[in-house]
Structure 1
Protein backbone atom coordinates (compact mmCIF):
# COMPACT_ATOMS: atom_id res chain seq x y z
CA UNK A 1 0.00 0.00 0.00
CA UNK A 2 1.63 3.25 -1.15
CA UNK A 3 -1.03 5.77 -0.14
CA UNK A 4 -3.81 6.05 2.43
CA UNK A 5 -6.18 8.99 1.89
CA UNK A 6 -8.43 9.87 4.83
CA UNK A 7 -11.43 12.19 4.87
CA UNK A 8 -13.48 13.42 7.82
CA UNK A 9 -15.65 16.29 8.96
CA UNK A 10 -17.85 16.73 12.05
CA UNK A 11 -16.13 14.93 14.93
CA UNK A 12 -13.22 14.18 12.64
CA UNK A 13 -10.36 15.51 14.74
CA UNK A 14 -11.21 13.23 17.65
CA UNK A 15 -11.74 10.23 15.33
CA UNK A 16 -8.50 10.94 13.50
CA UNK A 17 -6.56 11.16 16.75
CA UNK A 18 -7.94 7.78 17.87
CA UNK A 19 -7.11 6.24 14.49
CA UNK A 20 -3.57 7.62 14.47
CA UNK A 21 -2.87 6.27 17.97
CA UNK A 22 -3.64 2.79 16.64
CA UNK A 23 -1.38 2.98 13.59
CA UNK A 24 2.05 1.40 13.59
CA UNK A 25 4.81 3.30 11.78
CA UNK A 26 4.33 2.65 8.06
CA UNK A 27 7.60 3.63 6.35
CA UNK A 28 6.43 2.60 2.85
CA UNK A 29 3.06 4.39 2.96
CA UNK A 30 2.12 8.07 2.69
CA UNK A 31 -0.97 9.25 4.56
CA UNK A 32 -2.97 12.26 3.34
CA UNK A 33 -5.80 13.80 5.34
CA UNK A 34 -8.59 16.18 4.38
CA UNK A 35 -10.47 17.37 7.44
CA UNK A 36 -13.27 19.90 7.27
CA UNK A 37 -12.49 22.33 10.03
CA UNK A 38 -13.42 25.90 10.81
CA UNK A 39 -9.84 26.57 11.83
CA UNK A 40 -7.70 28.40 9.32
CA UNK A 41 -4.63 27.50 11.36
CA UNK A 42 -3.12 24.47 9.66
CA UNK A 43 -0.09 24.62 11.93
CA UNK A 44 -2.23 24.09 15.04
CA UNK A 45 -3.90 21.10 13.39
CA UNK A 46 -0.52 19.71 12.38
CA UNK A 47 0.79 20.05 15.95
CA UNK A 48 -2.33 18.40 17.41
CA UNK A 49 -2.05 15.40 15.10
CA UNK A 50 1.70 15.09 15.66
CA UNK A 51 0.98 14.22 19.29
CA UNK A 52 -0.81 11.05 18.20
CA UNK A 53 1.61 9.54 15.68
CA UNK A 54 5.33 8.87 15.35
CA UNK A 55 5.08 9.87 11.67
CA UNK A 56 6.21 13.36 10.72
CA UNK A 57 3.12 15.52 10.10
CA UNK A 58 3.33 18.17 7.38
CA UNK A 59 0.98 20.50 5.56
CA UNK A 60 0.84 19.44 1.90
CA UNK A 61 2.64 21.98 -0.29
CA UNK A 62 2.17 22.86 -3.97
CA UNK A 63 4.44 20.78 -6.23
CA UNK A 64 5.97 18.83 -3.34
CA UNK A 65 6.47 15.09 -3.75
CA UNK A 66 4.26 12.65 -1.85
CA UNK A 67 6.77 10.85 0.36
CA UNK A 68 6.23 7.56 2.19
CA UNK A 69 6.24 7.53 5.97
CA UNK A 70 4.74 11.04 6.23
CA UNK A 71 1.26 12.20 7.28
CA UNK A 72 0.15 15.14 5.14
CA UNK A 73 -2.69 17.51 5.99
CA UNK A 74 -4.57 19.47 3.31
CA UNK A 75 -4.16 23.22 3.79
CA UNK A 76 -7.36 25.11 4.62
CA UNK A 77 -9.04 26.93 1.74
CA UNK A 78 -7.44 24.86 -1.05
CA UNK A 79 -8.44 21.71 -2.86
CA UNK A 80 -5.61 19.18 -2.60
CA UNK A 81 -4.87 16.97 -5.59
CA UNK A 82 -2.24 14.35 -6.33
CA UNK A 83 -0.90 14.23 -9.86
CA UNK A 84 0.16 11.20 -11.89
CA UNK A 85 3.72 12.25 -11.01
CA UNK A 86 2.89 11.70 -7.30
CA UNK A 87 3.29 15.38 -6.49
CA UNK A 88 0.78 17.56 -4.65
CA UNK A 89 -1.17 20.30 -6.43
CA UNK A 90 -3.39 22.94 -4.85
CA UNK A 91 -6.20 24.93 -6.41
CA UNK A 92 -9.00 27.28 -5.46
CA UNK A 93 -11.61 25.85 -7.82
CA UNK A 94 -15.22 26.20 -6.61
CA UNK A 95 -16.20 24.41 -3.44
CA UNK A 96 -17.40 20.81 -3.73
CA UNK A 97 -20.18 19.77 -1.33
CA UNK A 98 -19.89 23.31 0.07
CA UNK A 99 -16.28 22.79 1.20
CA UNK A 100 -12.72 23.45 0.14
CA UNK A 101 -10.66 21.33 0.62
CA UNK A 102 -12.90 18.56 -0.65
CA UNK A 103 -12.42 14.89 0.14
CA UNK A 104 -13.87 13.98 -3.27
CA UNK A 105 -11.24 16.05 -5.08
CA UNK A 106 -8.38 14.39 -3.19
CA UNK A 107 -9.75 10.86 -3.52
CA UNK A 108 -10.53 11.19 -7.24
CA UNK A 109 -7.04 12.47 -8.08
CA UNK A 110 -5.36 9.93 -5.78
CA UNK A 111 -7.31 7.08 -7.38
CA UNK A 112 -6.07 8.16 -10.82
CA UNK A 113 -2.49 8.38 -9.57
CA UNK A 114 -2.25 5.30 -7.33
CA UNK A 115 -5.01 2.95 -8.59
CA UNK A 116 -4.83 -0.38 -6.70
CA UNK A 117 -1.91 0.80 -4.55
CA UNK A 118 -4.08 2.97 -2.29
CA UNK A 119 -6.81 2.92 0.30
CA UNK A 120 -9.48 5.52 0.90
CA UNK A 121 -10.87 5.98 4.41
CA UNK A 122 -14.07 7.85 5.27
CA UNK A 123 -14.61 8.77 8.91
CA UNK A 124 -17.30 10.72 10.74
CA UNK A 125 -18.97 13.68 9.05
CA UNK A 126 -22.32 15.31 8.42
CA UNK A 127 -22.33 15.82 4.63
CA UNK A 128 -21.73 13.51 1.66
CA UNK A 129 -18.26 14.72 0.66
CA UNK A 130 -16.04 11.71 -0.01
CA UNK A 131 -18.72 9.35 -1.32
CA UNK A 132 -17.98 10.00 -5.02
CA UNK A 133 -14.26 9.96 -4.37
CA UNK A 134 -14.45 6.66 -2.52
CA UNK A 135 -16.38 5.19 -5.45
CA UNK A 136 -13.48 6.28 -7.71
CA UNK A 137 -11.00 4.60 -5.36
CA UNK A 138 -12.91 1.32 -5.58
CA UNK A 139 -13.36 1.58 -9.36
CA UNK A 140 -9.59 2.08 -9.72
CA UNK A 141 -8.90 -1.07 -7.71
CA UNK A 142 -8.13 0.58 -4.38
CA UNK A 143 -9.44 -0.47 -0.99
CA UNK A 144 -12.34 1.40 0.66
CA UNK A 145 -12.67 1.60 4.44
CA UNK A 146 -15.58 3.36 6.13
CA UNK A 147 -16.11 4.06 9.80
CA UNK A 148 -19.13 2.21 11.15
CA UNK A 149 -21.92 4.84 11.12
CA UNK A 150 -23.14 3.50 14.48
CA UNK A 151 -19.80 4.55 16.01
CA UNK A 152 -19.37 7.84 14.15
CA UNK A 153 -20.15 11.11 15.91
CA UNK A 154 -21.91 12.20 12.70
CA UNK A 155 -23.14 9.31 10.57
CA UNK A 156 -24.00 11.22 7.37
CA UNK A 157 -20.64 10.94 5.65
CA UNK A 158 -20.10 7.22 6.36
CA UNK A 159 -23.70 6.43 5.37
CA UNK A 160 -23.37 8.38 2.10
CA UNK A 161 -20.12 6.59 1.29
CA UNK A 162 -21.62 3.18 2.00
CA UNK A 163 -24.72 3.99 -0.06
CA UNK A 164 -22.87 5.29 -3.12
CA UNK A 165 -19.54 3.45 -3.07
CA UNK A 166 -19.93 0.52 -0.72
CA UNK A 167 -16.87 -0.53 1.24
CA UNK A 168 -14.38 -3.34 1.44
CA UNK A 169 -14.45 -2.84 5.21
CA UNK A 170 -16.98 -1.02 7.45
CA UNK A 171 -15.35 -0.97 10.87
CA UNK A 172 -14.87 0.85 14.13
CA UNK A 173 -11.84 3.11 14.46
CA UNK A 174 -9.67 0.54 16.28
CA UNK A 175 -10.39 -2.05 13.60
CA UNK A 176 -9.69 0.44 10.79
CA UNK A 177 -6.28 1.05 12.36
CA UNK A 178 -5.63 -2.70 12.57
CA UNK A 179 -6.66 -3.22 8.95
CA UNK A 180 -4.45 -0.35 7.77
CA UNK A 181 -1.53 -1.79 9.76
CA UNK A 182 -2.09 -5.14 8.08
CA UNK A 183 -2.25 -3.60 4.60
CA UNK A 184 0.67 -1.21 5.04
CA UNK A 185 3.04 -3.64 6.70
CA UNK A 186 2.41 -6.69 4.51
Structure 2
Protein backbone atom coordinates (compact mmCIF):
# COMPACT_ATOMS: atom_id res chain seq x y z
CA UNK A 1 0.00 0.00 0.00
CA UNK A 2 1.27 3.48 -0.79
CA UNK A 3 1.52 5.93 2.08
CA UNK A 4 -1.52 8.00 2.90
CA UNK A 5 -1.57 11.68 1.91
CA UNK A 6 -1.77 14.33 4.59
CA UNK A 7 -5.34 15.30 5.44
CA UNK A 8 -7.30 18.52 5.89
CA UNK A 9 -10.72 18.18 7.54
CA UNK A 10 -13.09 21.14 7.54
CA UNK A 11 -16.19 21.07 9.73
CA UNK A 12 -19.02 23.54 9.89
CA UNK A 13 -22.70 24.16 10.30
CA UNK A 14 -24.93 27.20 9.92
CA UNK A 15 -23.09 30.01 8.16
CA UNK A 16 -20.09 27.97 7.04
CA UNK A 17 -20.94 27.50 3.37
CA UNK A 18 -19.92 31.04 2.39
CA UNK A 19 -16.50 30.57 4.02
CA UNK A 20 -16.03 27.24 2.24
CA UNK A 21 -16.84 28.89 -1.07
CA UNK A 22 -13.99 31.35 -0.40
CA UNK A 23 -11.51 28.63 0.66
CA UNK A 24 -12.05 26.18 -2.19
CA UNK A 25 -10.51 28.31 -4.96
CA UNK A 26 -7.18 28.03 -3.07
CA UNK A 27 -7.17 24.26 -3.63
CA UNK A 28 -5.17 24.20 -6.85
CA UNK A 29 -4.31 21.38 -9.27
CA UNK A 30 -1.80 18.93 -7.81
CA UNK A 31 -3.13 19.73 -4.32
CA UNK A 32 -0.96 17.59 -2.03
CA UNK A 33 -3.58 16.71 0.61
CA UNK A 34 -6.83 14.81 0.78
CA UNK A 35 -9.73 16.95 2.03
CA UNK A 36 -12.84 15.95 3.97
CA UNK A 37 -15.72 18.38 4.44
CA UNK A 38 -18.30 17.71 7.15
CA UNK A 39 -21.25 20.09 7.10
CA UNK A 40 -24.45 19.75 9.06
CA UNK A 41 -27.35 19.63 6.63
CA UNK A 42 -30.86 18.30 6.30
CA UNK A 43 -31.20 14.52 6.15
CA UNK A 44 -33.12 14.72 2.88
CA UNK A 45 -30.45 16.71 1.04
CA UNK A 46 -28.86 15.07 -1.97
CA UNK A 47 -25.59 15.53 -3.84
CA UNK A 48 -26.29 19.18 -4.63
CA UNK A 49 -23.74 20.27 -2.01
CA UNK A 50 -20.92 18.44 -3.78
CA UNK A 51 -22.04 19.89 -7.10
CA UNK A 52 -22.11 23.41 -5.65
CA UNK A 53 -18.66 23.04 -4.06
CA UNK A 54 -17.22 21.69 -7.31
CA UNK A 55 -17.99 25.02 -9.01
CA UNK A 56 -15.31 26.67 -6.84
CA UNK A 57 -12.36 24.31 -7.39
CA UNK A 58 -10.68 22.31 -10.13
CA UNK A 59 -10.23 19.38 -7.75
CA UNK A 60 -12.51 16.37 -7.79
CA UNK A 61 -15.40 16.84 -5.33
CA UNK A 62 -17.58 13.87 -4.43
CA UNK A 63 -19.92 12.60 -1.78
CA UNK A 64 -17.91 10.13 0.28
CA UNK A 65 -18.86 6.51 -0.29
CA UNK A 66 -18.22 3.37 1.72
CA UNK A 67 -14.65 2.08 1.15
CA UNK A 68 -13.44 5.14 -0.82
CA UNK A 69 -9.68 5.41 -0.36
CA UNK A 70 -8.44 8.90 0.54
CA UNK A 71 -6.44 10.37 -2.30
CA UNK A 72 -4.47 13.62 -2.52
CA UNK A 73 -6.21 16.21 -4.64
CA UNK A 74 -9.71 14.90 -3.91
CA UNK A 75 -12.41 16.47 -1.74
CA UNK A 76 -14.75 14.06 0.04
CA UNK A 77 -18.04 15.47 1.35
CA UNK A 78 -19.69 13.64 4.24
CA UNK A 79 -23.12 12.56 3.00
CA UNK A 80 -26.19 13.67 4.90
CA UNK A 81 -27.40 11.38 7.69
CA UNK A 82 -24.15 9.37 7.99
CA UNK A 83 -21.13 9.77 10.25
CA UNK A 84 -17.90 9.64 8.25
CA UNK A 85 -15.01 7.64 9.73
CA UNK A 86 -11.51 6.88 8.45
CA UNK A 87 -10.05 3.39 8.72
CA UNK A 88 -6.31 2.77 9.34
CA UNK A 89 -5.81 1.89 5.66
CA UNK A 90 -7.19 5.30 4.59
CA UNK A 91 -10.56 3.97 3.50
CA UNK A 92 -13.79 5.69 4.47
CA UNK A 93 -16.65 4.16 6.40
CA UNK A 94 -20.19 5.51 6.58
CA UNK A 95 -21.97 4.94 9.87
CA UNK A 96 -25.66 5.42 10.67
CA UNK A 97 -25.31 5.14 14.46
CA UNK A 98 -26.93 7.63 16.84
CA UNK A 99 -26.56 11.35 16.27
CA UNK A 100 -23.80 13.13 18.19
CA UNK A 101 -24.71 16.63 19.42
CA UNK A 102 -27.94 16.27 17.43
CA UNK A 103 -25.90 15.83 14.26
CA UNK A 104 -25.21 13.13 11.71
CA UNK A 105 -22.72 13.59 10.20
CA UNK A 106 -20.93 14.70 13.34
CA UNK A 107 -17.82 16.83 13.05
CA UNK A 108 -16.51 15.35 16.32
CA UNK A 109 -16.80 11.80 14.97
CA UNK A 110 -14.79 12.62 11.84
CA UNK A 111 -12.18 14.77 13.64
CA UNK A 112 -11.57 12.00 16.21
CA UNK A 113 -11.43 9.24 13.62
CA UNK A 114 -9.03 11.23 11.46
CA UNK A 115 -6.81 12.00 14.46
CA UNK A 116 -6.47 8.30 15.28
CA UNK A 117 -5.23 7.54 11.76
CA UNK A 118 -3.33 10.69 10.77
CA UNK A 119 -1.95 12.14 14.03
CA UNK A 120 0.48 14.94 13.17
CA UNK A 121 -0.36 14.63 9.45
CA UNK A 122 -3.79 16.16 10.11
CA UNK A 123 -5.08 19.75 10.06
CA UNK A 124 -8.64 20.51 11.18
CA UNK A 125 -10.59 23.73 10.67
CA UNK A 126 -13.86 24.42 12.51
CA UNK A 127 -16.10 27.06 10.94
CA UNK A 128 -19.34 28.86 11.79
CA UNK A 129 -22.13 26.91 13.47
CA UNK A 130 -24.86 26.80 16.08
CA UNK A 131 -24.04 23.83 18.34
CA UNK A 132 -21.11 22.31 20.25
CA UNK A 133 -20.08 19.75 17.63
CA UNK A 134 -16.39 19.83 16.75
CA UNK A 135 -14.84 20.97 20.03
CA UNK A 136 -14.23 17.50 21.51
CA UNK A 137 -12.84 16.36 18.19
CA UNK A 138 -10.41 19.28 18.12
CA UNK A 139 -9.21 18.26 21.59
CA UNK A 140 -8.47 14.73 20.33
CA UNK A 141 -6.70 16.11 17.25
CA UNK A 142 -4.47 18.21 19.50
CA UNK A 143 -3.73 15.33 21.86
CA UNK A 144 -2.61 13.20 18.91
CA UNK A 145 -0.36 15.88 17.41
CA UNK A 146 -2.57 17.41 14.73
CA UNK A 147 -3.10 21.10 13.94
CA UNK A 148 -6.33 22.75 15.14
CA UNK A 149 -7.88 26.03 14.06
CA UNK A 150 -11.25 27.71 14.31
CA UNK A 151 -12.86 30.58 12.50
CA UNK A 152 -12.70 33.79 14.53
CA UNK A 153 -16.17 33.95 16.12
CA UNK A 154 -16.31 37.67 15.32
CA UNK A 155 -16.22 36.79 11.60
CA UNK A 156 -18.61 33.83 11.82
CA UNK A 157 -22.19 34.21 10.68
CA UNK A 158 -23.11 32.01 13.67
CA UNK A 159 -20.44 32.33 16.35
CA UNK A 160 -21.56 29.69 18.87
CA UNK A 161 -19.62 26.70 17.49
CA UNK A 162 -16.20 28.35 17.13
CA UNK A 163 -16.64 30.27 20.41
CA UNK A 164 -17.48 27.05 22.27
CA UNK A 165 -14.39 25.35 20.82
CA UNK A 166 -12.16 28.24 21.90
CA UNK A 167 -13.63 28.06 25.41
CA UNK A 168 -12.82 24.37 25.90
CA UNK A 169 -9.74 23.78 23.70
CA UNK A 170 -6.53 25.77 23.44
CA UNK A 171 -6.62 25.67 19.63
CA UNK A 172 -3.46 26.34 17.65
CA UNK A 173 -4.96 29.24 15.67
CA UNK A 174 -8.03 31.43 15.53
CA UNK A 175 -8.32 32.62 11.94
CA UNK A 176 -10.14 35.53 10.41
CA UNK A 177 -11.36 34.56 6.95
CA UNK A 178 -8.41 36.14 5.11
CA UNK A 179 -5.95 34.37 7.43
CA UNK A 180 -7.71 31.06 6.87
CA UNK A 181 -7.45 31.53 3.12
CA UNK A 182 -3.72 32.29 3.49
CA UNK A 183 -3.28 29.17 5.64
CA UNK A 184 -4.99 26.93 3.08
CA UNK A 185 -2.89 28.49 0.33
CA UNK A 186 0.25 27.74 2.37
CA UNK A 187 -0.71 24.07 2.54
CA UNK A 188 -0.81 24.01 -1.25
CA UNK A 189 2.42 25.97 -1.67
CA UNK A 190 4.47 24.20 0.98
CA UNK A 191 3.00 20.67 0.92
CA UNK A 192 2.90 20.73 4.69
CA UNK A 193 0.61 20.41 7.63
CA UNK A 194 1.44 22.95 10.33
Where on the TM-score scale, by shorter chain, does this alignment land: which range?
A: over 0.9
CA distance in 2, matches of 1:24, 1:180: 10
The residue number in structure 1 matching 2:98 is 94
Counterpart-to-counterpart distance in 1, 2:78 and 2:68: 12
Q: Which residue number corresponds to residue 51 of structure 1? A: 55
Structure 1 runs not aligned, ≥5 long: none
- Tell me, in whole angstroms, the C-alpha distance in 2 between the residues paired with 1:51 and 1:117: 28
What corresponds to 1:36 in structure 2? 40
**Equivalents in 2 of 1:39, 1:51: separation in Å?**
23
Give the TM-score normalised by structure 1: 0.95
Correspondence for 1:73 = 77
Cα distance, 1:83 vs structure 2 = 1.0
Residues 21-60 of structure 1, C-alpha deviations (whole Å, 9 max, x = no match): 3444452201101101126333110110011111110111
Corresponding residue pairs, total: 186
Cα deviation digits, residues 100-133 of structure 1 (max 9, x gap): 0000000000000000001010000010100000
Q: TM-score normalised to the size of structure 2?
A: 0.91
Deviation at 1:160, TM superposition (A): 1.2
2: CA distance between counterparts of 1:6 and 1:124? 11
- Unmatched 5+ residue regions in structure 2? none
Whether the 8 Å contact between 1:22 and 1:174 is mirrored in structure 2 is no
Partners in 2 of 1:184 and 1:160 — Cα distance?
Answer: 29
Residues 39/95 of structure 1: CA separation in 2 closer, same or farther (3 Å cut): closer
